[in-house]
Each structure stands twice: as structure tokens, then as C-alpha cells.
Amino acid sequence: MQVTPEAASALWRPFREVDGARVFHVDLTADIVRESEALDWLDEAERSRRGRFLYPRPRREFTLCRAALRSLLCRELGCSNGDLSFEKARFGKPFARICGVPARVAFNVSHSGRHGLIALAAGGGRIGVDVEERSTRRELDGYIRLLFAPQERAELEKANGDGKVELFYRLWTLKEALIKAVGAGLSLDTAKFEIPPAMVRGAPVSLFSFPETPSVRWRLDYIGDIRFAAAIARESVDPCDPRRYVEH
């Protein structure tokens, strides 16, 4: 796993900074040279996992995103790549260890089509990011019935054409970012909670609480652009709370 700063800088680009969390973009278009450089970052277990992907696209996505994550964490934590390892918390959400000790950094990774996003927050607390390439070919109505709460469905039913596609992906990425931040996987039903109405109407940021845990506050940011829809969710944590680095 011998890598160079030049190889690292080719794996990601800064994309956005929101409330102390930084988001980086990973270009997932096919590039044999870049994928070869990324492969140098992976450890033996990751190379084995990579080999189990049957098709080139998911193999490339995993390789580039994991290498970019390793590069960013090494830079953030001041460690060598060989000292960095990953473990999974409940429901499979990964967290980082440095020489076996849990690292004081929160991160999350998402990818869709040609784009990957990595969110990092050195201050701790749970974090989630989601990115989705918009598709006008997708049949939305079935997803709308399954994924969204009543008021959200009503807003989507009023929208038309490109506006409907934009709103669908906006709400979807906001919900997915929250689910990934919680780290509860499929145990959270997206139709059981609603995105704040101001964000449905286009506001870029809002605070949110799940109905069953009203004391836990989340900051939601919509960070999409013309290339893709994207959102980030970050837990609001008291900086004096010793639980801020604990993986949930």
C-alpha cells in the first residue's frame, strides 16, 4: 500500500463545506490509470472484496471511493495508510480505527453513476450523505407511494415535468442522508417521517427531529447541483458531551 501525494490528490476534489462538515467529490468515470492508482490504497481484505464484484462498474465505484476515503482520512488524522482500518457498527455502518483505536472523525460515503461524495466531520457526531443522478426515465409514481409521507406525496402530485423530477430527488436524497446518518439501514421507513416543509419548498437548510426521538436534532443541507441531487445530514452534538465520538 505504497502511495504518493500526487496519487491521493487525483482521487478526490473539495465540493462543499457546511457547518464544519466537508464534502468531497469522487469522479467515478472509467479511467484505467486512476483505478490502478486507487488500487494501491486498498488493503488485502478490500482487494478480496473488490474481487467479488462481478461487473466492472461496481468494482470501479468501490475501488475509487474506498481509496479516496483512505486518502482523506490519512490526511485528516495524520496517519499512514497502513495504520488505518475499518470496522462495522450495528446495521453495518463502517467506522475507522488507527492502530486499532477508534478514530475521532465521522464520515459517510455515497455514490451514484459517475459521482461519489464523501462527507467528513472532525468534531464527531453522526453524519450521512447521499447523492443521486437524476433520471427522467425512472417511473416515479410507484416510488412516490412507497417512499414518501402524505404531505410529501401531495406536493409531488402537484408538481409536473422537470419540477417533479427535481423535487423527487431532492426529497429522496434528504431522507437517505438522514437514514445513513442514523445508521439504522432498512429498519427506518422513509414514509414514516417528513422532511421539513421549508426544505420541500426549496430552503437549502433546516433542522429536523425524528418523531420517536424528538430530543435528537439533525441539521439537514441540500447540496445538489446541475449534475446530481445530494444532501447531507449531521447530528447536532454538544461539544462537551463525551458521547460525541461514540459510534451508534
> What are the residue ranges spanned by the domains of the chain?
5-124, 130-237
Contact 213, 236 (CB under 8 A): no
Tell the CATH topology of 5-124.
Ribosomal Protein L22; Chain A (3.90.470)
DSSP the chain: ----HHHHHTT-EEEEEETTEEEEEEE-S--HHHHHHHHTT--HHHHHHHHT--SHHHHHHHHHHHHHHHHHHHHHHT--GGGEEEEE-GGG-EEEEETTEEPS-EEEEEEETTEEEEEEETT-S-EEEEEE---SSS-HHHHHHHH--HHHHHHHHH--HHHHHHHHHHHHHHHHHHHHHHT-GGGS-GGGS---HHHHTT-SEEEE--TT-TTS-EEEEE---SS-EEEEEEE---TT-GGGG---
Q: Does CATH place domain 130-237 in 3.90.470.20?
A: yes
So what's the pLDDT on residue 246? 38
So what's the pLDDT on residue 185? 65
In percent, how much of the chain has pLDDT > 90? 78
Model-level pTM?
0.90
Residues of the chain scoring pLDDT < 50? 5-6, 239-248
203-238 pLDDT per residue, tens: 999 999 999 899 999 999 999 999 999 999 999 865
